Amino acid sequence: MATEKQTQPCSDILVVGAGIGGLKAAMDLSEAGRRVVLIDKAFSIGGLMARLDRTFPTNNCDLCTLSPQLSETGRRHHIELMSGTQLSAVQGDAGRFSVSLTRAPRFIDLDRCTACGECYKHFPHWVRFTPGLDHRAPTCMRYPQATPYAFSVYPEASVHIDELARVCPAGAILTEDRERMETRMFGAIILAAGAELFAPTRLDYLSRGLSSDVLTGLEYERILSASGPTRGELLRPSDGKAPRRIAWLQCVGSRGINTADVSYCSSFCCMAAIKEAVVTRERFGNDIETSIFHMDIRTGGKDYELYYQRAIKEYGVRFVRCRPHSVVRDDTGQLRISYLREESGRTESEQFDMVVLSSGFRPSPETDALGRTLGIELNRHHFAATGGFSPVSTSRPGIYVCGTFEGPKDIPETIVQSSAAACLAMQTAERPEPGAGPEDEVPLERDVAGEPPRIGVFVCDCGFNIGGVIDVAAVVAHAATLPGVLVAEMAGHGCSTAAMERIESAIREKGLNRIVIGGCSPRTHETLFQNTLRKAGLNKYLVEIANIRDQDTWVHANLPEQSTQKAKDLVRMAVASVRFRGPHSDLVLPMNKSVLVVGGGVSGMTAALNLADQGFKVVLVERMRELGGLAGQLRKSLEGDDIAAHVRTLVDRTLAHSHIEALTQTIIVDHSGMPGAFATGVQAGPRMLYRHIRHGATILATGALPRRPAEYLLGEHAAVVTQLDLDGIIEDDPERVARWNLVVMIQCVGSRTPDNPNCSKICCQSAVKNILRIRRLNPGARIFVLYRDMRTPGFQEDYAIEARKLGAVFVQYEESAKPGVCAVGEKLTVSFDDRILGRRLQVETDCLALSTGFVSDDEGTEDLATIFHLSRTADGFFLEDHVKLRPVELSVPGFTVAGTAHGPKSVRESITQALAASARVQALLARDVINLGAVAARVDRDRCAACLLCVRACPYHIPFINADGVSEIDATRCHGCGTCAAECPAKAIELVQFEDAVISAQLNGLLERLN
Amino acid sequence: MSLNTKLTSGEFVVLAEMETPRGVDISELVANAQRLKGRIDAVVIPDMDYGAMRMSALAGAALMQQQGFESVMHVYGRDRNQMALQGDLLGAYVLGVRNVVVVGGEQISQCDHRKAKPVDDLDELSILQMIRGLNQGLDLAGFELKGSPAFTAGCTLPTCADENAFEAALGQARKKVAAGAGYVVMAPMFDLEQAVSHVNRIKELGVPVIPTVLILKSVGMARYIAVNEPGAAISEAMIARIRKAHDREEECLRMAAEILSGFKGAAGGVKLQALGWEHRLPAVLDAAGM
């Protein structure tokens, strides 16, 4: 074993695991200017998400969302990616960890392997291109955009290494490769090692292992996936026929008491099953019957409840509230599910063609060993233990955790935790030396002025997206005949790391000075290609993208010949115009590094303190007289943490911090500027003093309001309280609680109703929390909980189990048959249907606690949304930029959201999101200048007749007639919309990057064929 | 025609309040004032309003005089003793300032210089009496002045949460008028009907009444005032009106213009208070057709 010792500065941060969580943490850190080493035990990165088909609730393709991030990770200089690597020892303390990393032999030189597949063709069983990920064959591609884009050799095949070396045209086979160990220094460590999905090979009572048509959720995702074994066709494994009836069984292996079961809830499986059912009906026809057998449907995430409702109403997915005791394969091969129909109490039996087992997360077998190596505590379920107010900190200072290594969760929650972990790691690790940033390493731009056009054309096939429709080779051949074209090539997946490198080397070797990409949307991919040009020493504006995917193959998928012709036209247009593309320089402004935090609750203060501790100047604006927010009214969390004490500490620290200016009784009234240079007008109380706050970024943490609907005699009868009230009563008046004989709780009061369709997420755990506390004070009290679905995801389930054990009675009700409440003087009776007994019960109660949840501060968020131009959800919460991958950023650049302003969530989740917002802000403010791009209107002074048309046309009021009597447009304020350029009758205004010459050339290129 | 003449002749006057800068860059102040040239009768210069340290009102008022505006200078006793007050008033007069309003100063605890010491040598009433003395050629110690000023002094009437408070404020104002106040500046009220009835009752003191027209800027600001200043009489309907508007800022300006127009014929004039949005005052005047 070879050992390399290196001395590294302790500003580096180690991220363990390159699934979506680790990738996100690594990218946040690199954006903020930190150097990251990202390791993964697998030979290519992506983790679990790369194996999924579509993401809820948007039903976007998972790979399309993930792969730009994979490729981005590969391209980032700040991120050193070490695949096939595991952590073997850790010494030292926070800020100075000495970590031993063990790299398994790959036998393939990453720098040389082009993933051409020759080795695989000759020896399919000796090499892998990330295999083992679907049940078809061990050599199957995980996904075409694998990063690193290279094969690896099975260790057992290394005896044949010389034969492999003979067939490799790239000379990439390393015959002498072996395990290597190196020790490096890190300032902080982020664990994103993930978890596994429970995948039993055999579960007799569910016919798993007996029938190949009983699949796990992940296997079903592989069937739906375009890169899966059936290429996205829905065919059942046993006979390759299309199934007509599919059943999902929830909680397989979770929330159970059998030996193979775990007690906790895996949180994501309800949404995953609903999504699979919806996608099935959406893609393969409404005649496929989809039934989901469940105990509770747990759709507690933001807008997830709406997705659930759509699944029922729009897609006709059937939900059966029952945990079937068995799946039996009958003689005909059909699967028979017997279950107890709750409404009738009778046993029913139905046949299905396929059964999907929604199996949840399990800690991976390496977790215990990794925990020991790291010296961190694990909880009783063998996930990393964290604290109520320190949601991403392990028990060992300096080691942080995110994603499913910490507990079961879905993608947005993982992303938020990843950013939060990145935030704390940045705080722990030394700040790197300024100027050491690898961004400075890009070569000088080559001066191409006066050179004749030397054009390189690269046409992508984008897998089947483009290559499946048109003849890419014919397009390339056509491009090669066009004037000025020196290189015309097929690029495969042009956005993959390998293709980018190929383009870069072509630019250098052939001296290309203009590049045309025949590919997808410039909106998503232009920056990627621009960076490649820049790395190759060309000005980044010398590239033109012909969008032959979105504008051609996607829309004319059934017309291959015409599509090929159109692709040729589009590429010819791009070739014609690219020669007129000039080098442009980007406009820059200095970056304002202070941050405006709106809202002084737990989220706002957590973010403000975190940023201030790292030297950022923060202005915290709160409209109320005191800091503290809604959490200031809370006392205890479900886990028993003292929320009140935590809030007091936050308030004291915020008020005392030298970098935080806290303005209370302050209202935001106007706003202008751009990310890095915002100006926001506030009226600061108590006397409405107007001030301009200049800031580079904004965090919205304005919270939500506790709901108090006028239902069930709330506000009319003294015995009727909310769970929030009850939280206070238990702390302040325990004698009163001790006198209660019977307590009734009603869930979903004012939530999941037609006027407020979403789930408030926290009320089930509040109810469980209060049950446990009441029973502690008054062990004899009888407690009834009337619920629709008990939603205690993750480890909260343990508390719900405890509540049941302590004798709380949980009775399910449907929205159509709500409980009734009747007051007779002091007395209060509650009546409800007991579906098991089949009759209506009536109990006299001493306390009726309503689980009322959150409602958005509609007026407040709307006011801010109008001033800041932000989007909101239908129920008045701020709408994030991307539900899945950007759950912290808002649609306007420079704005992030934290806490309940984003949607109902617990204090712990709010703290996580606040830290995540801080990380995103640090990434945004990492640079010293704001790059405004080059698109801006430019006035030709000699042609301007000062006719004022541009002054009037500009929607942003930028042009003005200057002292010289001509129109002047401040390029740094210009939005680049081009309205003035279109209006100007003298053609004195041109929009840089959209010059007339470029557009005319495009048209000439198109019409050439007609001449 | 001077502001004093207009007030005494019953002409409707429009005053615009403009804060001095915290610093020496006066360009914004001058630009904002110049936009209103010919459209207003005077610029009101507060003195470190709301306890925020700024360039002195004396300098601001003199600057406005230089810029061709008549200025109205705020005076109060928190920061200056009686000698400084008199000295500054004489200086202001020499620099062209003819009008002052005696106002209440913010509590020192609410100021942005927490360590500053308050003086509070004279209250509003005493300052009005002192000004009358100066106009008559005598300082507070009874010495004769070499050349006496001729200030027009006004007083203020605060927001009143209820009838009792209004009665009390009216009583104070009566004393101030008796002490020489030539006009009363009334705090902002958004319910025009109620405001006009207040104006009419103040008018009985025998001096012109100048209500303040405060420009709202957002739903949040309207809500804040509605909650914290019930005397300002912002109704739910007004908040709803801003919320429903296509362009909320424009709507706020329009509402200010409507209130401004409503005071025409009912009051002696108005004071426009923009609190930072001075650059939008021309739009308010446009909307009011003035």
The mean per-residue pLDDT over the stretch A949-976 comes to: 88
pLDDT of A971 reads: 87
DSSP tally for chain B: helices H, then strands E = 11, 8
Structure tokens at A989: 């205004």
Query: Quick one: DSSP state of residue A189?
Result: E
The mean per-residue pLDDT over the stretch B214-240 comes to: 94
- Asked which of A102-116, A532-546, A679-693, A721-735 is least confident by mean pLDDT, the reply is A102-116
More confident call, A287 vs B175: B175
Q: How far apart are CA A359 and CA A786, in angstroms?
A: 28
Three state DSSP letters for B123-181: CHHHHHHHHHHHHCCECCCCCECCCCCCCEEEEEECCCCCHHHHHHHHHHHHHHHHCCC
**B249 touching A, CB under 8 A?**
yes
- Partner residue facing A690 (CB), from B219, B224, B276: B276
More confident call, A422 vs A137: A422
ipTM of the complex: 0.87
| Residue A717 confidence (pLDDT) above 80 | yes
3-class state of residue A80 by DSSP: strand
pLDDT 10s digits, A99-132: 999 999 888 887 777 677 778 778 877 877 643 3
CA A626 vs. chain centroid, Å, equals 34
Chain A residues closer than 8 Å to B104 by CB: none
The mean per-residue pLDDT over the stretch A405-433 comes to: 94
Cis? peptide before A57, omega within 30° of 0: yes
Chain A residues closer than 8 Å to B277 by CB: 670, 681, 690
| Cβ pair B18, B32 in contact under 8 A | yes
Closest CA to A992 of A969, A1011, A1008, A1009: A969
| Residue A595 confidence (pLDDT) above 80 | yes
pLDDT > 90: percent of chain A: 63
> What is the phi/psi pair of residue A797, to 5°?
-55, -35
Tell me the shortest Cα–Cα distance from A309 to chain B, in angstroms: 30
**pLDDT confidence bin for B62, thresholds 50/70/90:** very high
DSSP-assigned beta bridge partners for residue A589: A930
pLDDT 10s digits, A9-50: 589 999 999 888 998 999 899 889 899 999 999 887 777 776
| Cβ pair A21, A415 in contact under 8 A | yes
The mean per-residue pLDDT over the stretch A520-545 comes to: 89
DSSP-assigned beta bridge partners for residue A855: A705
Q: How far apart are CA A562 and CA A550, in angstroms?
A: 15
pLDDT of A5 reads: 42
pLDDT 10s digits, A834-867: 877 788 999 999 999 999 988 999 999 999 999 9
pLDDT of A378 reads: 96
Please indicate whether, in this complex, the C-beta atoms of A670 and B221 are within 8 angstroms of each other: no
Locate all alpha helices (DSSP H) within A146-202, ordered by sequence. 161-167
The mean per-residue pLDDT over the stretch A582-606 comes to: 94
Q: Which of A93-102, A151-160, A218-227, A679-688 has the highest mean pLDDT?
A: A93-102
Question: H or E stretch including A29?
Answer: helix A20-31
The mean per-residue pLDDT over the stretch A959-970 comes to: 88
Q: How far apart are CA A571 and CA A459, in angstroms?
A: 9
Q: How far apart are CA A915 and CA A400, in angstroms?
A: 12
Residue tagged 């506030």 (tokens) = A682
| Residue A56 confidence (pLDDT) above 70 | no
Q: How far apart are CA A994 and CA A809, in angstroms?
A: 69
Q: How many Cβ atoms from other residues are within 10 Å of residue A334's Cβ?
A: 15
- Partner residue facing A683 (CB), from B52, B221, B243: B221
pLDDT of A438 reads: 47
> What is the phi/psi pair of residue A467, to 5°?
-60, -25
A196-197 vs A361-362, strand pairing mode: antiparallel
Closest CA to B42 of B8, B9, B20, B18: B18
Strand order, beta sheet including A346-352: A326-329, A335-341, A346-352
Nearest CA in chain A to B278: A690
| Cβ pair B15, B269 in contact under 8 A | yes
- Partner residue facing B217 (CB), from A623, A669, A692: A669
- Partner residue facing B220 (CB), from A668, A686, A689: A668
Q: How far apart are CA A215 and CA A272, in angstroms?
A: 14
pLDDT of A688 reads: 83
The mean per-residue pLDDT over the stretch B13-26 comes to: 96
pLDDT of A57 reads: 60
Please indicate whether, in this complex, the C-beta atoms of B276 and A691 are within 8 angstroms of each other: yes
> What is the phi/psi pair of residue A48, to 5°?
-75, -35
Rounded to 5 degrees, what angle do the CA atoms A468, A473, A479 make? 125
Choose from B28, B50, B278 for mutation: most chain A CBs within 10 A: B50
Q: How far apart are CA A771 and CA A805, in angstroms?
A: 11
Nearest CA in chain B to A663: B112
pLDDT of A899 reads: 96
pLDDT of A227 reads: 66
Handedness of CA A888, A890, A893, A894 (dihedral sign): negative
Please indicate whether, in this complex, the C-beta atoms of A665 and B224 are within 8 angstroms of each other: yes
pLDDT of A139 reads: 31
| Cβ pair A663, A690 in contact under 8 A | no
pLDDT of A708 reads: 92
Please indicate whether, in this complex, the C-beta atoms of B217 and A862 are within 8 angstroms of each other: no
Handedness of CA A114, A120, A125, A129 (dihedral sign): positive
pLDDT of A61 reads: 57
Contacts of A270 (CB under 8 A, 6+ apart): A250, A294, A296, A297, A298, A299, A308, A358
pLDDT of A510 reads: 93
Closest CA to B51 of B128, B100, B122, B116: B116
In our burial notation (b when 16+ CB lie closer than 10 A, e otherwise), range A712-751 reads bbbeebebbbbbbbbbebbeeeeeebeebebbbbbbbbbb
| Cβ pair A595, A617 in contact under 8 A | yes
Compute the CA torsion angle A345, A351, A354, A359 (nearest 10 deg): 20
**pLDDT confidence bin for A934, thresholds 50/70/90:** confident
Chain B residues closer than 8 Å to A869 by CB: none
| Residue B187 confidence (pLDDT) above 80 | yes
**pLDDT confidence bin for B110, thresholds 50/70/90:** confident
Question: H or E stretch including A840?
Answer: strand A839-845
Locate all alpha helices (DSSP H) within A694-762, ordered by sequence. 723-732, 734-739
- Partner residue facing A623 (CB), from B51, B110, B220: B220
CA A890 vs. chain centroid, Å, equals 13
Count of CB pairs separated by less than 8 Å, A with B: 68
Distances (CA, A) of A946 to A155, A325, A952, A972: 75, 82, 12, 21
Distances (CA, A) of A553 to A225, A550, B253: 20, 7, 52
Chain A residues closer than 8 Å to B110 by CB: 686-687
pLDDT 10s digits, A461-504: 876 778 888 999 999 999 999 999 999 999 888 877 788 889 99
Nearest CA in chain A to B218: A669
Q: Which of A561-565, A997-1001, B46-50 has the highest mean pLDDT?
A: A561-565
**What does pLDDT average to over chain A?**
89
Query: Quick one: DSSP state of residue A762?
Result: S
- Partner residue facing A669 (CB), from B50, B106, B218: B218
The mean per-residue pLDDT over the stretch A921-941 comes to: 89
pTM of this prediction? 0.85
pLDDT 10s digits, B249-266: 999 999 999 999 999 999
Residues 97-126 of B with CB under 8 A from A: 106, 110
pLDDT 10s digits, A65-109: 566 566 555 555 688 888 899 999 999 999 999 999 999 988 888
Q: How far apart are CA A532 and CA A270, in angstroms?
A: 42
| Cβ pair A125, A157 in contact under 8 A | yes
